[in-house]
């Protein structure tokens, strides 16, 4: 993904996986929404692994449907936990 060239590979991988989850929940419009969230997140400057939770939360804030938001956050939290525990993430 072109947009992740400005972050370390581990973070870029997690961003891509988070975006895939997001699109899986909301549909194709999620790509455009995720791009906007990424730009804002990148501008904040906290783009290391510790900033990933903020990125996921910012994505979830794009979801008006409470059930979609819960679903996305639960799946994204599993990804973040895998990162924290050192498990490989596919």
Provide the domain count of the chain: 1
Domain residues for 71? Answer: 21-84
74 within some domain? yes
89 within some domain? no
Compute the mean pLDDT over every residue in the chain, rounded to the nearest whole number: 87
15 within some domain? no
Confidence label for 68 from pLDDT (cuts 50, 70 and 90): very high
HSE-up of residue 13 (Cα within 13 Å, Cβ side)? 11
34 within some domain? yes
Confidence label for 89 from pLDDT (cuts 50, 70 and 90): very low
28 within some domain? yes
Say how many Å lie between the first and final Cα of the chain, rounded.
Answer: 15
4 within some domain? no
pTM confidence score: 0.84
11 within some domain? no
72 within some domain? yes
pLDDT for residue 1 is more than 70? no
């Amino acid at each position: 993904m072109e947009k992740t060239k400005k972050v370390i590979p581990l973070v870029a991988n997690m961003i891509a996986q988070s975006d895939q989850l997001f699109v899986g929940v909301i549909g194709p419009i999620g790509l455009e929404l995720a791009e906007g969230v990424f730009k804002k997140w990148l501008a904040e400057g906290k783009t290391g692994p510790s900033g990933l939770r903020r990125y996921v939360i910012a994505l979830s804030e794009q979801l008006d449907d409470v059930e979609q938001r819960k679903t996305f956050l639960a799946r994204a939290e599993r990804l973040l936990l895998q990162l924290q525990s050192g498990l490989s993430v596919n």
